[in-house]
Amino acid sequence: MEYTTLGRTGLKVSVAGLGCGGAAKLGLGYGHNEQHAMGIVQRALDCGVNFIDTAQYYGTEPAVGAAIAGRPRDSLVISTKHKVSLVDGTVYSAAEILAGLDRSLRALKTDYVDVFCLHTVRPHEYERVSREILPVLLREKERGKFRFLGITEFAAHDPRHETMTQAFADDGWDVMMLAFHMLNQNARQRVFPQAMQRGIGTLLMFAVRAIFSIPGRLQADIRELAREGRLPKWLGDKKQPLDFLLHEGGAANVIEAAYRYARHEPGAHVVLFGTGNPDHVEPNVRAILQPPLPAADLKQIAELFGSLEGVGLDEVAPLKRS
């Protein structure tokens, strides 16, 4: 495993982080039990992964708590999250979010989390977060229930990273979670430069998600983008549109290419991977630990996809149990 420093937090974190949400939710999303989910966490830890990202909303905190029991707490970096609102219109107050933090600590069976994030904050919600919630959380930080404060964007509703752009105006955020992948590159201009300047740690989600993992999905999306004139027609006509990445010295497969692409972006700290299949843990970690893609491949990715926004940011579940 390779480790890096998560920005100004000073936390030493594995460059591969286990994400406990997404469609899989450690297998809970496919109907597996908590024992199965625990096994995935433990397998990741045995690979050297020390960064685990969960959330009350995922329902995976109890499995994480059970999986880390008996491991030295200071060898782990645990991140959890609480939403500021739900799609049904429910809006959480600062007091309710703090009560949620207490529930998370009980579920995780720990006295503190290393990173506590406000989850899926949409651009129109940020002003309230900054005015009403951030000051309360900064005061609460002094009590030791969490060490560092983070914020995550709601990628499907924020393709231009407007929440992060607003958050840079406040100095309270130590960590940011954002979407970045081969067909969604605009964080290179809109997030990473300011995050590096301010020493903010970054957690990358969507490096591999539905667009790369569901059979046929990448081809269908690229075909549609070509139809809309957002990509060249010849690319839409190809059966394997990213086959230029698969060659000696390049990537073995598209998923490996996607992980390598995200991992080596300047300003990236932790690339999150999620799975419901314990046999996928080691291949995902190996992919993240591979060297950068060849310069010629990176150039072609930039030329073909650099202008795209809002592509592949959905939460569609895989077509089959995995």
Q: What is the pLDDT of residues 58-94, one digit of tens each?
A: 999 999 999 999 999 999 999 999 999 987 878 999 9
> Residue 314: which pLDDT band, with cuts at 50, 70 and 90?
confident
Mean of pLDDT values over 127-142: 96
Instruction: Flag whether 314 is in a domain.
Output: no
Supply the pTM of this predicted model. 0.95
| Whether the Cβ atoms of residue 84 and residue 129 lie closer than 8 Å to each other | yes
Residue 316 has pLDDT above 70, yes or no: no
Residue 143: the pLDDT is: 94
Question: Catalytic residue numbers?
Answer: 58
- By DSSP bridging, strand 12-14 and strand 3-5 are antiparallel
- Percent of the chain having pLDDT more than 90? 94
Note the pLDDT tens digit of each residue in 9-47. Answer: 999 999 999 999 999 999 999 999 999 999 999 999 999
Instruction: Flag whether 310 is in a domain.
Output: no
The CATH number linked to 61 is 3.20.20.100
Instruction: Flag whether 197 is in a domain.
Output: yes
Instruction: Flag whether 90 is in a domain.
Output: yes
Residue 185 has pLDDT above 70, yes or no: yes
Residue 318 has pLDDT above 60, yes or no: no
- Percent of the chain having pLDDT more than 70? 98
| Whether the Cβ atoms of residue 153 and residue 304 lie closer than 8 Å to each other | no
Indicate the DSSP class of residue 91. Answer: B
| Whether the Cβ atoms of residue 312 and residue 210 lie closer than 8 Å to each other | yes
- By DSSP bridging, strand 77-83 and strand 113-121 are parallel
Instruction: Flag whether 108 is in a domain.
Output: yes
150 Cβ contact partners less than 8 Å away, ≥ 6 residues apart: 79, 81, 115, 116, 117, 118, 173, 174, 175, 176, 177, 201, 203
Neighbouring CB atoms inside 10 A of 100's CB total: 20
| Whether the Cβ atoms of residue 79 and residue 115 lie closer than 8 Å to each other | yes
Burial of 229 from C-beta contacts in 10 A (0-12 / 13-18 / 19+): exposed
Note the pLDDT tens digit of each residue in 216-231. Answer: 999 999 999 999 999 9
Residue 322 has pLDDT above 50, yes or no: no
Instruction: Flag whether 16 is in a domain.
Output: yes
Indicate the DSSP class of residue 131. Answer: I
Residue 315: the pLDDT is: 67
193 Cβ contact partners less than 8 Å away, ≥ 6 residues apart: 267
Q: Give the number of domains in the chain.
A: 1
Note the pLDDT tens digit of each residue in 197-223. Answer: 999 999 999 999 889 989 999 999 999
Q: What range defines the domain where residue 301 resides?
A: 3-305
